[in-house]
Structure 1
Amino acid sequence: MFNTHVKAVRDLRNNYPELASIIKNRDHVIITNNGKSEAVLIPYEEFSKYEEFLHIRYVKEKLAEAEKAAENPGEWMSTEELFNEWDSWE
């Protein structure tokens, strides 16, 4: 499990080595500005995993939408209709 640290935005400039050390220990840092949370610093590997998770979730959602659409073939264009529409674009 990781620990979460809260630091002021000025620490990015004044104490970056300390923040980098915290992140290298796989902990998270919440950056605040005037007492309000603005950003989170996490290790790059965790960010990459998060990006991959979001991509996979997006693809699964789109596949589910396509499968649902495929259940209603009346909503699909025939090949002939599609080619006629393409011809009209020229």
Structure 2
Amino acid sequence: MAAIIVLAAAIFGSQALSDSRLDDDARRALASALGTSSSIELAQLQEVRYGYGLCGSYRLSPEQGFASFYMDTTTGDVELDVNSRRFNTHCGLSALC
């Protein structure tokens, strides 16, 4: 029984670390694309393309609304244009609603 608990903790712990790393990668890529050093708040993150992409929303300050983005997790490229083919192909409206 103890081995099962240790195994479960290891699996969920590694997933939490992976999610945290992905959040940090997204923040860095967005900051670079936006040309800012401000803190970036992320919301509604969803992995797409079998983990090779990330769709979500971000904002720079609580006074601003959220804006959507797509990030290619292999290259770190960020797409901010929600009307672009790349964004719509991977994120579409159903992914963020």
Regarding TM over 0.5, the answer is no
Instruction: Answer with 1 or 2: which has the greater Rg.
Output: 1
TM-score (norm 2): 0.34
Q: Which has the higher helix share?
A: 1
Q: Which has the higher strand share?
A: 2
TM-score (norm 1): 0.37
